[in-house]
Structure 1
Amino acid sequence: MESWVYDIENALRVKDNDHAKAMAEKAKFEAEVLELKEKVKLLEADCIKSIGLAREEGKQVGQQEVLDQVRIDFQGVFNRGFRDGWKSALKKAKVPSSLKWFLRDETPLLYPDAGLMNSDAKDEDDEDDEDKTEEVSGEQGTGPSAPIPEDSSAPPEDVADPSASAPIDLAVSDPPATYGPAPVDPAPPSEN
């Protein structure tokens, strides 16, 4: 019976050692699982952050594309409106439709770059302009002078007058027909 008790005690010791090893491995694996769960949480957070950044970037790119398209559409409307107004003015002036002014339909017009100024900077510029005006008026000795407005009804100097006659080619044998009434001799015919 003693040998049987001794064998049971040895078996219990072996089982206790195996149990301790298994518990150590279990604790090690649980620590690894917790570590991996933390890594997964960090990766999920990074993924969500990168998706959010990509979404914002996509929105900005989309907004820029929409703004570019609107700008192009607006320029097209601006150009068409200008061309229609130009053609209307030419028709009212009774300019023949065969002239080059009617043939400029496909010439693109650049949209003016209307640079916007900061209102504070504009106030500073106004003050500088006033100082310059005072200096100029002080030099002349005639007191403050009012600026002379330009005549906006006068055509620009560098643009050809559409109502002017076309140049005459002297190599042509037949002179072009003149528009308007025939010239009148101011002196009455005398009877001889």
Structure 2
Amino acid sequence: MSYVRRLARFPVAAVAAGLLLAACSSGSEPSGGTTAARLGGQIAIRSSGSPTLATLWLDSVVAVDCTEPGSLPPNNGHYLAATIVLKTSEQYQPDSGWWMSAGDFATEDADGKQTGKGIVTSCLPEHRYLPDDFYLSDSGYYGVVLIDSASVHGTLTYKPHNLPNDVTGWHWSY
């Protein structure tokens, strides 16, 4: 191989390595230390060294209008319904101390600034909500977590309040 061709390969390899590094680092930076997840993708809820407590799928995050009489308007501009499918494992025990709470969810803008928070209100019929209580082992649950948010697009974060600090949570773009 000629000397010129060898020299030409070095800049090409350097540019390719730089593009690969940029592609790997963009989008993989967690939102507030949380792990990126995709809508419809499965996440396992567990702490280090423990069995999986549950599997969660975030199906969608959409703006909703309140349907219940006497509902209050959102404080931040929009109500969002985060539709969740949750399956507890056989190892999950109701006294394990973990359950999902609307307060564990928040929305963020592109700069990581919080724009909304999960709330409990009588906006939708009660049967539409994901249970906000202890669950049974080896059981399935389906419902929404209501979020009062300033924007209908952004990042949804789930940071469990009742798991050890090694579980930082997850985030989804919607």
- Bin of the TM-score, shorter chain as denominator length: under 0.3
The structure with the greater share of residues assigned to strand is 2
- Is the radius of gyration larger for structure 1 or structure 2? 1
TM-score by length of 1: 0.23
Greater relative CO (CA pairs within 8 A, separation 6+) = 2
